[in-house]
Amino acid sequence: MRLTSIAAALLLITALTASRSRAAFSDTSVNTGSSFSTGSVVITDDDTGTALFSATGMTPGSAVVECIVLTYSGSVTPADIKMYGTTTGTLDTYLDTTIEIGTGGTFGNCTGFAPASTVYSGTLANFSATYLNWASGLALFTAAANPTSQTLRVTVDVQNNPAAQSQTSTADFTFEAQD
């Protein structure tokens, strides 16, 4: 019993010593108020909801030309701007189409347009068959600042082919920005 009492006393002393021998000094540092938000990707054009073209009675050699200004105003930069589209009808096979990018001009008025480069030249049918969505879209420009504006000048002319007579087509163009 005496041995048991000594062992119990030693255990008690060890426990007390261990619990009281922790460091008496301590310090902490706290960083508060962290916040998070997302950026935005915003592309607009100056068409005010109007179709880029409404051409009737077209004939070979009488090209229609229209301009549209694309403006990237998102907070995320850089952002890639692409174009793609769809067509319906049978005239698109006979519509030679050129898309240039540059500065100047406004929707419905290409006065002052200064081309920087031609980004597409081919038929409207080929455009819609090649540039279907963002993944396959026609690269227009990269917006490295907010805002960034570029003007597209789109020229469409009917081929001198009798098969183009009495044909019609419609086209929808999509401009998309992604970071």
Asked if residue 58 is part of any domain, the answer here is yes
Asked if residue 102 is part of any domain, the answer here is yes
Q: How many CA atoms lie within 13 A of 137 on its CB side?
A: 18
Q: Give the type of residue at 45.
A: D
Alpha helices in 21-151 (DSSP H): 124-130
Q: Mean pLDDT for the chain?
A: 91
- Model confidence at 3: pLDDT above 90: no
E runs forming strands in 74-165: 79-89, 95-103, 114-123, 138-143, 148-158
- Model confidence at 73: pLDDT above 70: yes
Asked if residue 71 is part of any domain, the answer here is yes
56-76: string of b/e by CB count within 10 Å (b at 16+)? eebeeeeebebbbbbbbbbeb
Q: How many structural domains is the chain composed of? A: 1
147-160: string of b/e by CB count within 10 Å (b at 16+)? ebebbbbbbbbbee
The CA-based dihedral angle spanning residues 107, 108, 112, 114, taken in that order and rounded to the nearest 10 degrees: 70
Q: What residue has token string 């570029």?
A: 150
Asked if residue 148 is part of any domain, the answer here is yes
In tens, the pLDDT along 35-67 reads 999 999 999 999 999 999 999 999 999 999 999
pLDDT of residue 24: 82
pLDDT of residue 58: 97
pLDDT of residue 97: 98
What global pTM score does this model have? 0.82
- Model confidence at 122: pLDDT above 70: yes
Q: Give the type of residue at 125.
A: A
Give the domain range for residue 77: 43-178
- In degrees and rounded to multiples of 5, residue 89 shows phi and psi of 100, -170
Instruction: Taking residues 75-98, report their average pLDDT.
Output: 97
CA distance 149 to 137: 19
Asked if residue 136 is part of any domain, the answer here is yes
Alpha helices in 99-145 (DSSP H): 124-130
